[in-house]
Structure 1
Amino acid sequence: MKALARSYVWWPGLDADIEKAVSQCLACQHTRNFPPRSDVHHWESAKKPWSRLHIDFAGSFQGNTFFLVVDSFTKWLEVCPVKSTSASAAITFLQQLFATHGIPDEIVSDIGTAFTSEEFKLFTKNNRTRHIRSAPFHPATNGQAERMVQTMKSYLKKLDRHTDINIALARFLFDQHTTPHSVTKHSPAELLFNRELQTFFDKLSPGEISYGKVCEAQTQKSFVTGTPVWVRNYASGPKWIEGHVSKANVRRHLDQLRLRSPSQQPTSEEISSPTGRVPLTQTEAEAGEPTTPVGPQRSPELIETGEPPRRSAVDRRRPQFYDPSGC
């Protein structure tokens, strides 16, 4: 229009007058195209893990709705199946994440009703978290979450209809957490936890698995056959009963045994017993297991004890003391 006018006439401000006439034409304004795209404004890089989170709801897939949370710095993804796209559903899941990873500085979302509600505003205010909302009908503003939504949906569409959705989702998240990202060149787990998660492939080298060392204090304590001991009693009767280390009748941990002096006087319960000592119960002496279950122990030094034999009437030999002058 401007070129056509200038080919016939000219006056000062010709171009401005033509632009004004077009801007005041309603038909021209109603049918004109979109203006040229503005320069893309990329998000500033987060300075630390779990500083800026992008959140969004993923539409219904096979009757399931999901809530997604993406950490901008590490690309760590969290997905939770929810019953509705409500503010309470989003807050409940975010509270669980905050308890594990901490409270973020910023949360980016769209302008869905769940994120513009007073409940969600109060939630971000109480946590001193800045809430950034994208422009209407412009999902690129929250591109981090939108991209993860597309990735997750693409994965779920490949599944068989009879596949357990919870197991499939757990596998998807595990792969996402352990796979190096194309942008960061590191896996999300490495950036978030400063370590790699152990995968199935790590199990292929069992020789490198370390279970730690047994405490030296535990390995030094031992009992040989015939040692007089006090055995912790978990049946009715006294708390400790007299015994000798003999054979596999009663299973006890080292912490449940203590040395007993052979010359130690019997207690009142032992005197009232026909044998002069408190016998083991039927369950302990014959069945070979304590009446009360004992929790699993890491230490392998389990001592097998049984009912002590009757004392012999023969006088015991006096101990020989060390003589430094000779053998």
Structure 2
Amino acid sequence: MLTMDFVEGLPRSGRFNCVMVVVDKLSRYAHFVGLFHPFTAPVVAAAFMDNVHKLHGMPESIVSDRDRIFTSRFWRELAALSGVKLRMSSSQHPQIDGTTERVNQCLEGYLRCFTHACPVKWAQWLSLAVFWYNTSMHSALDGKSPF
């Protein structure tokens, strides 16, 4: 099961102004993918295929919030054709997708620490942020990293 969300409200950095966050709930392994907002469901699907699917295949299910991208007809059709179950957190209970929200907080903190002098360069730190997060100890994994 994967969770997906977006970190928005970032300053423009090169071609990007937001990050798609994809997290495997079992291993806590994450992918951070730079995007430019506003984006469409086909753009998000292409980013998912290029950055997640090619490495891991299609998940059994994806948990997300009710962002317009995840509720679009295109996204629902893509999931149905791929055999992926879409699960949405409700607006009253966004903690259902708490894993990704916590990863978003970690990513934002990491980027703040390393780009405080020049926030518009956050995209240059994204690949290092992925490495840092994926090699960190996670309490949900009994203090082990995914690798």
Same-fold call, TM > 0.5?
yes
RMSD of the TM alignment (CA)?
1.5
1:174 aligns with 2:131: yes
Q: Which runs of 5+ in 1 are unaligned?
A: 1-51, 191-327
Tell me the TM-score normalised to structure 1 length: 0.40
* CA positional deviation for 1:121: 0.3
| Match among 113, 116, 120 for residue 160 of structure 1 | 116
Give SS of 2:70's match.
helix
1:76 aligns with 2:29: yes
Q: 1:56 maps to which residue?
A: 5
| Greater relative CO, 1 or 2 (CA 8 Å, sep 6+) | 2
Structure with greater proportional helix content: 2
Q: CA separation in 2, counterparts of 1:66 and 1:183?
A: 24
What amino acid maps onto 2:59 in structure 1? P
Question: In the comparison of the two structures, how many residue pairs are matched?
Answer: 138
Q: CA separation in 1, counterparts of 2:132 and 2:97?
A: 23
Q: CA separation in 1, counterparts of 2:101 and 2:131?
A: 20
Q: 1:132 maps to which residue?
A: 87
Give SS of 1:144's match.
helix
Q: CA separation in 2, counterparts of 1:161 and 1:118?
A: 41
1:93 aligns with 2:47: yes
Q: Which runs of 5+ in 2 are unaligned?
A: none
Q: Looking at CA atoms only, which structure, 1 or 2, has the larger radius of gyration?
A: 1
1:186 aligns with 2:135: no
Tell me the TM-score normalised to structure 2 length: 0.86
Alignment of 1:130-279 (within 5 A): 130-158=85-113, 159-162=115-118, 164-184=121-141, 185-188=143-146, 190=147
Q: CA separation in 1, counterparts of 2:118 and 2:29?
A: 28
* CA positional deviation for 1:137: 4.1
Give SS of 1:183's match.
helix
Identity %: 25
Give SS of 1:79's match.
strand
* CA positional deviation for 1:61: 1.2
Q: 1:42 maps to which residue?
A: none
